[in-house]
Amino acid sequence: MLRATGDEHDDIMYPSAIPFVLVHLGCIAAIWTGVTWSALVICAALYVLRMFAVVAGYHRYFSHRAFATSRVVQFMLAIVAQSTAQKSVLWWAAKHRHHHLHSDTGEDVHSPRHKGFVYSHFGWIFDRKHDQADLTKVADLTRWPELLWLKRFELLPAVVLAVLCFLVAGWSGLVVGFLWSTVLVYHATFCINSLAHVHGSKRYVTGDDSRNNGWLAILTLGEGWHNNHHAYQSSVRQGFRWWEIDPAYYLLKTMSWLGLIWDLKTPPAHVVRNEQRLGARIVNRAAEQLAAHFNSERIALAISSALHGSALSALQESLARARERTTDVLATLHLPQVPSREEFLAQAKAMFARTISLDEIVDRAYELVLASIGTRLAPIPVPSDRS
């Protein structure tokens, strides 16, 4: 197994990436097989069917339990979803739940902010540390033996579908019908991990980089309303407004009328209106983002340069006595080098979407910056000699 050295992503399992590359290269074989109308119809149909299985199955049902269904329909969703060759339902759901828990932090499995665009798009899939799923994150799913069976034979649905495409439309059916649609579903899915955290608009403060992107919504049957989704993850619909096209939701709603699924979860009205109070985790993440715009090291150096001698010593003594309350000391001194709360508020309004929790974010960010400045200004304790 080859491994690069001196690289952040030096644990890529290259042999495991070979089938992925071969699927892409196999698409070129259409030069020899030809492109028949029947194969194109199969390609289009399989793209829509399997994209829906990824959206409704892998994502909204298995990862977020946005609706309820029977064991039979659950198994059918899992089979069709796994025919996309995106690993097992259990692996996919476990990784996605981990993503939401740590979205766009250093612990996220595929954050463009921390890992780069290409790695977030598909490189992470071949990282050794992501090869296995943490089944404790999907304990609600592992009680079903048929899902564990699909985990054991995760490529079986894809292989069976490939054979059926060949039997129906020959080599063109295999290459154009199966391989082309597989690659298209791959990258449409991957775009949500990458592009939907880079390009688009943000209606809600979610503590991460999730964005709404109408073009991606069309491409992925509604998944492009990604900022909406991060604002209320368990919603069966991701297009919160009437004009936000969400074909997967329309199909799921139709299935509910037929009695195939039920208990569809939708966002409360106050969430849609952006009037919800943010949880502590999101407030803290947003505050960290805001605090990062104020260089505490530079501010501490400016204070040190401005005060000099006895004045600086007096400040350091006050900080040393305050210990964990250094923020209180700095807040009461009103040093001109320290940005005011009003400056924090102005920066927050420029950075974030409208939220009733903006003051909480500002106050927390102000505390974080003051605490960091206090730590940099406080004298380093000298250990006493022991005889």
DSSP label at residue 63: I
Beta bridge partners of 60: none
Per-residue pLDDT for 309 more than 70? no
Mean pLDDT of 242-259: 97
Sequence spans of domains, the chain: 14-272, 280-377
Mean pLDDT of 263-275: 95
Q: What is the pLDDT of residues 38-82, one digit of tens each?
A: 999 999 999 999 999 999 999 999 999 999 999 999 999 999 999
For residue 14, what pLDDT band results from cuts at 50, 70 and 90?
A: low
Six token digits for residue 208: 């991460």
Lowest average pLDDT, out of 93-107, 119-133, 266-280, 364-378, goes to 364-378
Q: Which of 47, 40, 48 is nearest to 251 (CA)?
A: 48
| pLDDT in the model for residue 197 | 96
Q: What is the pLDDT of residues 286-299, one digit of tens each?
A: 999 999 998 888 88
For residue 370, what pLDDT band results from cuts at 50, 70 and 90?
A: confident
Lowest average pLDDT, out of 229-233, 270-274, 341-345, goes to 341-345
Per-residue pLDDT for 339 more than 50? yes
Q: Rounded distance, CA 141 to CA 115, Å? A: 29
Percent of the chain with pLDDT over 70: 86
Per-residue pLDDT for 115 more than 50? yes
Q: Rounded distance, CA 19 to CA 17, Å? A: 6
For residue 4, what pLDDT band results from cuts at 50, 70 and 90?
A: very low
**Average pLDDT, rounded, for the chain:** 89
| pLDDT in the model for residue 322 | 56
| pLDDT in the model for residue 130 | 82
Contact 41, 165 (CB under 8 A): no
For residue 136, what pLDDT band results from cuts at 50, 70 and 90?
A: very high
Mutual angle of helices 37-52 and 71-82, in 10-degree steps: 130
| pLDDT in the model for residue 295 | 87
Percent of the chain with pLDDT over 90: 71
| pLDDT in the model for residue 350 | 93
DSSP assignment of 220-261 equals: TTTTTBHHHHHHSTT-S-S--STTS--HHHHHHHHHHHTTSE
Beta bridge partners of 127: 12
Mean pLDDT of 216-220: 97
- Alpha helical stretches, state H, the chain: 14-26, 30-33, 37-52, 71-82, 89-101, 112-115, 117-121, 145-152, 156-172, 181-193, 214-219, 226-231, 247-257, 269-272, 280-291, 296-307, 309-322, 326-333, 341-351, 358-377
| pLDDT in the model for residue 321 | 60
User: Between residues 49 and 302, which one has the greater pLDDT?
Assistant: 49
Per-residue pLDDT for 129 more than 60? yes
Per-residue pLDDT for 2 more than 90? no
| pLDDT in the model for residue 140 | 95
Beta bridge partners of 262: 68
Lowest average pLDDT, out of 106-115, 226-235, 242-251, goes to 106-115
Mean pLDDT of 315-334: 64
Beta bridge partners of 201: 212
Mutual angle of helices 37-52 and 181-193, in 10-degree steps: 30
3-class DSSP assignment, residue 127: strand
| pLDDT in the model for residue 338 | 78
| pLDDT in the model for residue 151 | 95
Rg (CA), the chain: 26
Q: How many CB atoms lie within 10 A of CB 248?
A: 24
Per-residue pLDDT for 3 more than 50? no
Residues 6+ apart with CB under 8 A from 152: none
